[in-house]
Every structure is written in C-alpha cells, then in structure tokens.
C-alpha cells in the first residue's frame, strides 16, 4: 500500500516523517521544513491543501510585501474611524492553510511580522481563518546566499522541524518516481499537443481520494488523542525529567523551555494517535511507541538552524542517549516508576543513594553502563561507592558491567578519601575537630568509608554545630544499615 503522501506525488518521505506531518495537521501546531531547493517542500504543502480542499496560499517571505499579505487600508472605512483592509486573492484573511516559504530569507523586520501569524493566526491583531501554518527554509550558509539569522522567538514558535529528503538521499525506486513525476507546474504546454491524455502523474480524482483517506485518519485520531492523554497522565512528568537530563547531558547547550515541552507533549500524543488510526483504518503495522516517540522528540528540538557552530548531530545524539535511558516509559504503557528511578540515579549527588539504586534496582544494561562510566570519569572520589559495588558484585555478579569491573576497581582511593576530610575544616569549624575525628572512628571499613564521604561533604559547610554532627552520626549509622541490608539481600540471593 502506498503511503498517503505518496498518493499525492510526494516521494521519499519516511513513514515517520509522514506521521509527523499528519500530527501537525491534527494539532495545528506549526511545522518548519528544512531542506535544499528541489526537495519539494512547497509542493508537499500545496498538494496536502489541495487534497483536503483547504484555501491555501504560499507566500515567499523573501519577496512578499506585507501589503500583499494584509491588503491595503480601506480609505472609506478610515474616514469613519474604522481600520479595515481591502482583501484580494493573495491576502491571508480567508486562507485556511498557509505556507511561509523562504522564511530565513526574510529580513528581520518581516520575520517579526510573520511571527504573529505563526503564533496566533492573527495579523495586526485581527483574526484570520488560518488554522494551519507551515514554513520552509534552506539550510544556512554554504551554497545558499542571502539567508538570514532567524530570531530565537521565531524558531521557538515551531513545534516540529522536518527535513524532507533530496533526490540523492532517496533509494533508487523513489528517485525514479521523482524524475518521472509531472506536477502542476511541470510541462505546462504538453496538454496543448495531447489533449486527450492525462498528462499529470496524480489526477484530480486521485488527489481527492487521498484527501478523503487523510481526513478519515485525522478524524479517528482526534478522539484517540484524548484517550492517550488519559492513558499517559504522567507524560508531563516524564518530559519534565527528560528536560533536566538533557540539560545535564549537553552541559546546558540544549534547554527545553515550557513552550517547547508543550509542543513535545502534544506532538507525542498526536503522532501516536495518527499511528493508531492508520493501523485501525489502513491495516498498517503499529510502530513501537518508544521508537516513534524518539523521532517525535528529536524532531521537536531546534538545533543548528542558524548554523551557530553547534554540532547538531552530536547534540541530538546526546538527547537520544537520554531518551534511551528513559525509553521503558513508552514500552511499559506509561509506567513512571522506572523513569523516576533512572532520573534519581543520574541527578542525585548522594553517592550512597546512587549505590542503593545501582545495586538494588533492576536496571537495563545501558543504564548501568552509562551510570558507571559517568561515575568513573568524574573527578570526584567515588571510593565508597566503588568499594560497596565490588563487594556486591562478588556476591551477585552482574551489578557492574563486566567491561567496567577493572575501571571501577581502579576508582578506589582510600588514602585520598581519608586525607581529603579533615583539611576541609576551616574557620570556626576547626574548634570541632575532635568531634569530627570521633565520627571517623568507625568499627569496620564499610562504616569508615561511609563516615569519610559523609563528613567530607559536611565540613565544607559553614556554621558547623554539635547538633549537626549528632545528626551526621545518625545518618552514618542509617546509611550503613541500608548498605548492609543491600549486601545481605545480595548474599541471600546468591546462596539461593
């Protein structure tokens, strides 16, 4: 069975890209196509609008005067104190679907004016009939002269960033379909010489039929969107946790603001609703939610559009790592407990909480490998965690990935763990040196290491008091009991 967009003469798009486009039609959140000239971006928007029977206009943002979009003021209404504009065939007022082409060739002043249409479907504060706004742009720099830096506020208004393929990026079957395709603007005179034959690759009847199928898919997807929102009530919490992990993994280069997270939230639900609808109506196989969710989220992140020197592929790879860490959320039907566990593992600064999670929870190999690698590569002393982990590993192999056993063992540095502690006492805290030394006097290695780590964090704080030292003593005991419980649990499992 042909893809829905292929029935309209739009070739080479993956099923995932097609569903992203359909999700944009479902929600109405704006979509930006980024690609080389000849990637049929304008053609795709125009054919979809034609198939759906929507009033459509493609504006060239590099050329269009705003009077073309707005119309000229009505002089007669101005005399009566009313501001009205005279509509024409090209004004935006009655259009339902708008493509803003060459958006990054518009000068900054005009980019700002387009922002209102993209954001609120208004112009100069007046309502329009526009429901769907797509835009298109060429990549910055290189062979494309005249491209402009896009304002961050403008980029932030797009929910989805789609990259239509060039002909040489397609497989040969699709490439041949492209070169054989005759679009509405192609071969305009051929009908003059063979009027009896159908010269266009996609007939009017085929376009209308494709439109009916798209409409049926979207009509069924609408209620499914609401059902999914009820089924995945913790999706907001998932995205919130993801945003923190992404910021941490990219060292702050990718910060997902509230609007961006809202776009992701709706796009995830809409995309899945489209997939479920297509499966029910067209008999297509249902993609794994974790995989399609990854594509949606990666397509929701604006990266490298201004050619700002950021390695887009590298940054998106880091986002993908974070998604893989949390992917169980989608495969387990919105089970948030696993997400919360992984989130705590990668965000807590408490080594012993990390130990409890790493050694006591059922984690995927990828999560364990990433966590241990991060720990071994940190400049901090992780001796207590490494020591505990190796003891657990000896009782219950598999808690540490085998390829990292030597690396974890090499992280044990008892001498520095001890010598880093007391020198941390400064100022008035020095008066409590005997009480601090008493905390370090523990009966066994496990308790001593727990004490060193706990006290090391304590002594750098100002205003050290006897009461805080007493609370620290209790914390050392409680932590030791938890770790011993973890060791005993693994010992029993190993003996069983």
For 395-445, the DSSP string reads HSTTSS-GGGHHHHHTT--HHHHHHTTGGG--GGGGGGHHHHHHHH--SSH
245 lies in some domain: yes
pLDDT at residue 201, as a whole number: 84
**CB contact at 8 A, 74 and 85:** yes
397 lies in some domain: yes
Residue 384's closest CA among 442, 297, 313? 442
Cα 32 from chain centroid (whole Å): 15
**CB contact at 8 A, 368 and 408:** no
pLDDT at residue 239, as a whole number: 97
Residue 459: CB atoms within 10 A of its CB come to 22
280 lies in some domain: yes
Same domain, 158 and 87: yes
Same domain, 151 and 296: yes
Distance between CA atoms of residues 294 and 296, nearest Å: 5
Q: Look up residue 309 and give its DSSP letter.
A: S
Same domain, 104 and 248: yes
Same domain, 224 and 289: yes
Same domain, 88 and 128: yes
Same domain, 304 and 405: no
190 lies in some domain: no
248 lies in some domain: yes
Residue 234's closest CA among 353, 376, 343, 132? 343
pLDDT at residue 442, as a whole number: 84
**CB contact at 8 A, 33 and 44:** yes
Same domain, 165 and 112: yes
Kindly state the helix (H) or strand (E) to which residue 73 belongs, with its residue range. Answer: strand 72-73
Same domain, 303 and 241: yes
339 lies in some domain: no
pLDDT at residue 360, as a whole number: 85
**CB contact at 8 A, 443 and 479:** no
pLDDT at residue 259, as a whole number: 96
pLDDT at residue 68, as a whole number: 82
Q: What phi and psi values does residue 248 have, to the nearest 5 degrees? A: -70, -45
Cα 306 from chain centroid (whole Å): 18
Same domain, 252 and 380: no
CATH of the domain at 119: 3.40.50.300
Same domain, 362 and 306: no
Residue 462's closest CA among 492, 427, 490, 494? 427
What are 457's two structure tokens?
């964090």
Residue 340's closest CA among 328, 352, 355? 328
* pLDDT tens series, the chain, 496 aa: 578 999 999 999 999 999 999 999 999 999 999 998 888 899 999 999 999 999 999 999 988 777 888 888 787 777 787 888 888 899 999 999 999 999 988 888 788 889 999 999 998 888 999 999 999 998 876 666 677 888 889 999 999 999 999 999 999 999 999 999 888 778 888 878 887 666 778 888 999 999 999 999 999 999 999 999 999 999 999 999 999 999 999 999 899 999 999 999 999 999 999 999 999 999 999 999 999 999 999 999 998 888 666 678 899 999 999 999 999 999 888 889 999 999 999 999 888 888 889 888 889 999 999 999 998 898 888 888 888 888 888 877 888 888 888 888 888 877 766 655 555 555 555 667 777 778 888 888 888 888 888 877 776 666 678 888 888 889 888 888 888 887 787 676 666 6
408 lies in some domain: yes
**CB contact at 8 A, 87 and 68:** no
Domain total in the chain: 2
Distance between CA atoms of residues 468 and 221, nearest Å: 58
**In terms of C-beta density within 10 A (0-12 exposed, 13-18 middle, 19 or more buried), how is residue 312 classed?**
middle
For the entire predicted model, the pTM comes to 0.87
Residue 462 is part of which domain span?
Answer: 348-495
**CB contact at 8 A, 132 and 126:** no
Contacts 24+ apart (CB under 8 A), 218-222: 218/22, 218/25, 218/26, 218/274, 218/277, 220/277, 220/280, 220/281, 221/22, 221/26, 221/270, 221/273, 221/274, 221/276, 221/277, 222/26, 222/273
**CB contact at 8 A, 92 and 98:** yes
Distance between CA atoms of residues 343 and 346, nearest Å: 5
- Residue listed under structure tokens 């998106």: 316
Task: Single out the residue in 304, 322, 340 at which a domain terminates.
Answer: 322
Same domain, 288 and 367: no
188 lies in some domain: no
Same domain, 241 and 378: no
């Amino acid at each position: 069975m042909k893809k829905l967009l292929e029935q309209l003469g739009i070739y080479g798009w993956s099923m995932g890209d097609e569903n992203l486009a359909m999700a944009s039609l479902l929600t109405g959140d704006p979509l930006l196509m980024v690609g080389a000239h000849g990637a049929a971006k304008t053609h795709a928007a125009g054919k979809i609008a034609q198939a759906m029977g929507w009033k459509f206009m493609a504006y060239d943002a590099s050329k269009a005067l705003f009077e073309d979009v707005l119309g000229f003021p009505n002089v007669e209404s101005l005399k009566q104190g009313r501001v009205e504009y005279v509509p024409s065939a090209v004004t935006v007022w009655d259009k339902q679907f708008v493509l803003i082409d060459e958006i990054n060739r518009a000068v900054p002043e005009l980019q700002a004016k387009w922002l209102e249409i993209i954001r609120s479907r208004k112009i100069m504060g007046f309502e329009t009939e526009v429901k769907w706004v797509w835009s298109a742009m060429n990549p910055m720099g290189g062979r494309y002269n005249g491209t402009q830096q896009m304002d961050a506020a403008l980029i932030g208004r797009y929910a989805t960033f789609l990259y239509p393929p060039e002909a040489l990026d397609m497989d040969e079957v699709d490439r041949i379909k492209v070169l054989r395709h005759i679009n509405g603007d192609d071969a305009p005179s051929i009908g003059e010489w063979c009027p009896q034959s159908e010269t266009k690759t996609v007939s009017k009847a085929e376009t209308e039929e494709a439109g009916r199928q798209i409409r049926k898919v979207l009509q069924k997807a609408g209620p499914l969107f609401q059902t999914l929102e009820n089924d995945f009530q913790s999706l907001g919490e998932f995205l919130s946790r993801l945003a923190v992990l992404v910021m941490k993994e990219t060292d702050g280069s990718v910060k997902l603001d509230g609007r961006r997270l809202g776009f992701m939230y709706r796009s995830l639900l809409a995309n899945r609703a489209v997939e479920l609808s297509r499966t029910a109506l067209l008999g297509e196989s249902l993609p794994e939610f974790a995989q399609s969710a990854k594509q949606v989220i990666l397509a929701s992140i604006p990266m490298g559009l201004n050619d700002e020197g950021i390695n887009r592929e590298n940054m998106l790879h880091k986002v993908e790592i974070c998604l893989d860490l949390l992917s169980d959320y989608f495969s387990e039907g919105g089970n948030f407990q696993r997400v919360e566990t992984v989130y705590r593992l990668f965000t807590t600064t408490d080594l012993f909480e990390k130990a409890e999670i790493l050694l006591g929870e059922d984690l995927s190999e990828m999560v364990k490998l990433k966590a241990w690698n991060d720990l071994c590569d940190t400049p901090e002393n992780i001796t207590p965690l490494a020591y505990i982990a190796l003891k657990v590993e000896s009782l219950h192999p598999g808690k540490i990935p085998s390829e990292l056993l030597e690396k974890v063992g090499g992280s044990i540095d008892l001498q520095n763990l001890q010598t880093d502690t007391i020198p941390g006492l400064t100022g008035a805290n020095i008066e409590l040196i005997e009480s601090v030394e008493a905390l370090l006097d523990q009966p066994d290695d496990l308790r001593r290491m727990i004490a060193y780590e706990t006290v090391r964090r304590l002594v750098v704080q100002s205003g050290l008091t006897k009461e805080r030292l007493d609370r620290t003593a209790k914390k050392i005991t409680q932590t030791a009991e938890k770790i011993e419980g973890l060791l005993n649990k693994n010992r029993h499992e190993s003996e069983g």
